[in-house]
């Protein structure tokens, strides 16, 4: 069976489940189905992020029903993970002038507004920016990147607390910019 046919069946199945769950029939059901279909067709992120080799995923069902879904890494990762990203449509970003990683710790059921760690370029040169398809070991970042702690002090590496929940935000600033937020837990 080809991929298009399989994807279509998944979408039809999700729409049918959403309509059934809402107890809708007739015009109300059609409107619910249309909303689910529109949510699934929304343009998504053009950035894919992996932590310790695990690609972050979204829940298709949550996206269909709510219109959005958090990106998550299912399995726990190390306290100094390796981060890698790829761009599904590099041309969308145009001239990239800044890249950064910020990591936020869970705080009272949400995430702190202050980054525990930020990984940023030492300068604005293109060769100092984070590059797609390049693994970055946050326990040993390359010299052209610097790691800042919660207070803005430069530190040698990212060192997260075991067993905690975090959100990693990867920001790519260019002619068209994007920030990908990834939820994960440490081992």
Contact 90, 47 (CB under 8 A): no
Q: Which residues have a Cβ under 8 Å from the Cβ of 68 and sit 6 or more positions away?
A: 62
pTM, 2 dp: 0.78
Structure tokens at 69: 């879904």
Same domain, 35 and 95: no
Q: Mark whether 15 and 36 lie in a shared domain.
A: yes
Q: Is residue 65 part of a domain?
A: no
Q: What is the CATH number of the domain that holds 120?
A: 2.60.40
DSSP character string of 50-81: EETTEEPB--HHHHHHHS---EE--S-B-SS-
Percent of the chain with pLDDT over 70: 74
Shared domain for 125 and 156, answered yes or no, is yes
Model pLDDT for residues 50-74, shown as the tens digit of each residue: 999 999 998 777 666 756 678 999 9
Residues 65 and 63: their CA atoms lie apart, in Å, by 6
Q: Write out the chain's pLDDT in tens, 187 residues.
A: 444 444 445 555 544 454 455 555 555 555 444 444 443 454 578 999 999 999 999 877 766 675 667 899 999 999 999 999 999 999 999 999 999 999 999 999 999 999 999 999 999 999 999 999 999 999 999 999 999 999 999 999 999 999 999 999 999 999 999 999 999 999 9
Contact of 142 with 135, CB cutoff 8 Å = no
Same domain membership, residue 97 and residue 82: yes
Do 79 and 163 have their domain in common? yes
Identify the domain containing residue 151 by its residue range. 47-58+74-185
Q: What distance in Å separates the CA atoms of residue 96 and residue 121, rounded to the nearest whole number?
A: 13
Please indicate, yes or no, if residue 141 is contained in any of the structural domains.
yes
Domain assignment of residue 174, yes or no: yes
How many structural domains does the chain have? 2
For residue 64, being part of any structural domain is answered with no
Q: What is the pLDDT of residue 132?
A: 97
Residues 34 and 81 in one domain: no
Decide: helix, strand or coil at residue 135. Answer: coil
d(CA 46, CA 51): 17
Residue 67 inside a domain? The answer is no
Q: Does a structural domain hold residue 150?
A: yes
What was the pLDDT predicted at 40? 42
Residue 150 in tokens? 């919660």
Judgement on whether residues 7 and 87 belong to the same structural domain of the protein: no
Task: Please provide residue 186's backbone torsions phi and psi, each rounded to the nearest 5 degrees.
Answer: -90, 155
Task: Convert the pLDDT of each residue in 97-124 to its tens digit.
Answer: 999 999 999 999 999 999 999 999 999 9
């Amino acid at each position: 069976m080809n991929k298009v046919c399989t994807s279509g069946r998944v979408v039809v199945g999700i729409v049918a489940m959403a309509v059934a769950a809402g107890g809708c029939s007739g015009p109300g059901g059609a409107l619910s189905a249309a909303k689910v279909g529109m949510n699934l067709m929304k343009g998504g992120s053009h950035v894919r992020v992996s932590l310790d080799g695990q690609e972050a995923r979204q829940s298709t069902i949550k996206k269909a029903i709510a219109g959005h879904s958090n990106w998550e890494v299912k399995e726990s990762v190390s306290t100094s993970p390796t981060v890698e990203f790829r761009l599904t449509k590099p041309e969308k970003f145009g001239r990239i002038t800044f890249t950064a990683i910020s990591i936020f710790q869970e705080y009272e059921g949400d995430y702190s507004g202050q980054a525990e760690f930020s990984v940023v370029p030492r300068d604005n040169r293109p060769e100092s920016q984070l590059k797609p398809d390049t693994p970055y070991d946050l326990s040993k970042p390359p010299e052209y990147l610097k790691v800042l702690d919660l207070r803005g002090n430069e530190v040698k590496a990212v060192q997260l607390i075991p067993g905690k929940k975090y959100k990693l935000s990867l920001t790519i600033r260019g002619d068209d910019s994007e920030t990908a937020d990834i939820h994960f837990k440490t081992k």
